[in-house]
Amino acid sequence: MPAPISAEQHRLDREALLDAAESLFYERGVRAVGMDEIRSAAGLPLKRIYSLFATKEDLVVAMLRRRDRRCRASLAEHVERLDDPRSRVLAVFDWLGRWFAEPGFRGCAWVNAHGELGSSSPAVLDEVRSHKRAFHDQIAAWVEAAGSTAVEPVYLLAEGAIVTAGITGDAASARDARAAAEALLR
């Protein structure tokens, strides 16, 4: 009988699996990636993978949840280094522009997952909705702190810029959305 897996090894295996899944799912799509590819990329046996996540759907949800925490933390760090509330709102679009210009940018992971699985997976749909609510609330806090009531338009500008950049591959949508947000904040 093999030795039990330590808590640290469990954490390392889980992170390696999530790293591999996120990279492959974001690059190629969830349905296009098989579990054997994930196994190879993570360097883990399938039995170990299924002991960590019982289904591919569970793996997708965990990957989206982890990506949400990381992305929104990065956004908050970028925005909250500024003191001026209005500048904070506009910094959202600067952060988006940097993200859109990254090599391998393929749009919003949550919109992509929703497009592939949202109608057939209540768990994925719940995770996508949870992320979108949290992103909305994050933006709302900054817009309200700037003394503006334009929460919904600013949020929609951010979401629209993300979708547009994902489709066109052009980071200019962040700049254009920033200019529109600036006009709304005046």
CATH number at residue 25: 1.10.10
Tally of domains within the chain: 2
Under a CB-based contact definition with an 8 Å cutoff, are residues 94 and 171 in contact? Answer: no
Do 75 and 32 fall into the same domain?
A: no
- Paired tokens of 48: 């170990």
- The parent domain of residue 32 ranges over 1-54
Distance from C-alpha of 5 to C-alpha of 10, rounded to nearest angstrom: 6
Percent of the chain at pLDDT above 90? 96
- Paired tokens of 182: 């600036």
CATH number, domain with residue 116: 1.10.357.10
Do 46 and 76 fall into the same domain?
A: no
pTM: 0.94
Which of 34, 54, 74 corresponds to the end of one domain?
54
Do 77 and 104 fall into the same domain?
A: yes
Task: With a cut of 90, say whether residue 79 has pLDDT above it.
Answer: yes
DSSP string for 99-144: HHTSTT--S-HHHHHIIIIITT-HHHHHHHHHHHHHHHHHHHHHHH
pLDDT tens digits for 93-114?
999 999 999 999 999 999 999 9
Do 89 and 181 fall into the same domain?
A: yes
pLDDT tens digits for 118-163?
889 999 999 999 999 999 999 999 999 999 999 999 999 999 999 9
